[in-house]
Amino acid sequence: MYKPAKEIYEGLLSYVNSDGNNKSNGQSVSKEQIWLVSGNPFDVTGARSAGLNAIWVDRADKGWKDRADEYKPSKVVNGLLEIVDLMEKNE
């Protein structure tokens, strides 16, 4: 199985919540708390299909062109510095 299969991204959530890996004071991490960041639309659609948030880094400023609207990114940024602002607003 390979990306963008949603099971890959669901496996991330299972791993984060497994014994020994959870750093959230024993509380489980929800899908809404995980953000994938990628400049590759392929990664974004996979994460979104698994119900995760995804930030697409649109360095070329061309806009999201994928026709699968249900898998469009949660947020779009043009550079990595913008991500810090987004994460601070979502705390």
For residue 82, the domain's CATH number is 3.40.50.1000
For the stretch 46-85, pLDDT in tens is: 999 999 999 999 999 999 987 788 899 999 999 988 998 8
What is the reported pTM? Answer: 0.83
In a domain, 20, yes or no: no
In a domain, 14, yes or no: no
H or E, element range at 88:
helix 81-89
H or E, element range at 55:
strand 53-57
The Cα 62–Cα 3 span in angstroms is 23
In a domain, 21, yes or no: no
pLDDT level of residue 36 (50, 70, 90 thresholds): very high
Distances (CA, A) of 31 to 13, 38, 51, 65: 7, 17, 7, 25
Furthest-apart CA pair in the chain: how many Å? 42
The residue length of the chain stands at: 91
Res 51: pLDDT: 94
- Domains: count for the chain: 1
Q: Which structural domain range is residue 42 located in?
A: 31-91
In a domain, 3, yes or no: no
